[in-house]
Amino acid sequence: MADEPFPPPGVDLDHPSVARVYDYYLGGTTNWTIDREFADEVIREFPLIRPIAKANRLFLHRLVRHLVKQGVRQFVDIGSGVPTMGHAHQVADELAPGESRVCYVDYEPVAVAHSETLLRESGDLDRHAVIHADMRDPLRLWDQIAATGVIDVDEPLALLLIAVLHVQQPPAEDSGGTDDLGPAIVAQFRDLLAPGSVLAISHITDQGVPSDVDAGLVELKQLYDRSSSPVIWRSREEIQALFGPFEMLEPGLTWTPSWHPEESGAGAPQVEFLTPAHSVILAGAARKP
């Protein structure tokens, strides 16, 4: 590991990290041997994982473009990960230079450190911020977001929960609980959002996927449960329920390649699937009345 980048304080290099492994899938270099070895094992067992990850990142890009065109200027990206293959503020500034305000949130120190570097080099620290925080405490997190001075949480914003909720969100170790907190966390965020805000979610499902993908998803879950962070594949109905009473934006909850493909940016990489369902990630956005 002597030739690898020096890790920031607090980085766990004994276990593969979801954020760093995802960075590797996207072709990034912010990862360590432990991450690459695990990711290579996943790719061997489920080669579709790389195009799935890229299609999900491209959904994020199209989502931001679409919302900017609808007048959204504030974005909070929770579980934002390592800034590989384009970050939200970069996409927003293409369409509305100098107008958007973005706060990134992640629990992985490497993701936070690299986002800080990116914002110093190519962002605007008056409009862009990153915080190291735990999404399992929405009230405290909301206070941290407000404290940046970048986001006005009393005004409409877009809350992005992109490929984060299929990673289990366990209760605190001293709580004695074992259930995943994901739905309860999202419900709290829905309550915190100002009217007119948008909630965007992408999430892996094992429902409605092609038969040739079923076995790969089973193996994928086993690999993550055993070696990295445990994951949950929710049904379409369970993912839809995460939006609560919010009003879905067209085209509703759909596969990542099918969500506003016309919003693809110039020069965006092409990710081909036999069918949209081979992307295995459902995505959508909804507005708070």
Q: What is the CATH number of the domain that holds 155?
A: 3.40.50.150
d(CA 123, CA 282): 30
Element housing 154 (H / E): none
Q: Which residues pair with 104 in a beta bridge?
A: 77, 130
Name the amino acid, one letter, at 62.
R
Residue 131: pLDDT above 90? yes
Do 287 and 243 meet the contact criterion of CB atoms below 8 Å apart?
no
Among the listed ranges 11-20, 181-190, 219-228, 229-238, which one has the minimum average pLDDT value? 11-20
Asked, for residue 273, whether it belongs to a domain, the answer is no
Residue 236 has pLDDT above 90, yes or no: yes
For residue 34, tell me if it sits in a domain: yes
Per DSSP, which regions of the chain are E strands? 74-78, 101-106, 128-132, 158-162, 198-204, 247-248, 254-255, 281-287
Cα separation, 66 vs 143, whole angstroms = 28
Per-residue pLDDT averaged across 74-84, rounded?
91
CA-wise closest residue to 282 among 135, 123, 131, 251: 251
What is the C-alpha R_g of the chain? 18
At 87, phi and psi to the nearest 5? -105, 165
Determine, yes or no, domain membership for 260. Answer: no
Reduced to 3 states, what is the DSSP secondary structure of residue 256?
helix
Whether residue 92 lies inside any domain: the answer is: yes
The pLDDT mean for the chain works out to: 92
pLDDT category of residue 76 using cuts at 50, 70 and 90: very high
**Which of 79, 73, 77 lies closest to 93, judged by CA?**
73
Structure tokens at 128: 């862009």
Q: Where are the beta strands (DSSP E) in 79-118?
A: 101-106
pLDDT band at residue 86 under the 50/70/90 scheme: confident
Query: Looking at the domain assignment, is residue 55 inside a domain?
Result: yes
CA gap 286, 246 in Å, rounded? 5
> pLDDT value at position 7?
59
Q: Is 13 part of any domain?
A: no
What CA–CA distance (Å, rounded) separates 156 from 169?
26
CA–CA dist 83, 91 (Å, integer): 12
Q: What is the pLDDT of residues 97-123, one digit of tens each?
A: 999 999 999 998 888 988 998 899 888
Query: What is the average pLDDT across 34-59?
Result: 96
Q: Is residue 7, in this structure, part of any structural domain at all? A: no
Whole-model pTM: value is 0.93
Q: Which domain holds residue 63?
A: 18-170+177-253+278-287
258 lies in some domain: no
Question: Which backbone phi and psi does 5 adopt, to 5 degrees?
Answer: -60, 145
Q: Which residues pair with 231 in a beta bridge?
A: 167
Burial classification of residue 90, based on how many CB atoms lie within 10 Å of its CB (0-12 exposed, 13-18 middle, 19 or more buried):
middle
| Chain centroid offset of residue 107 CA | 12
Number of domains in the chain: 1
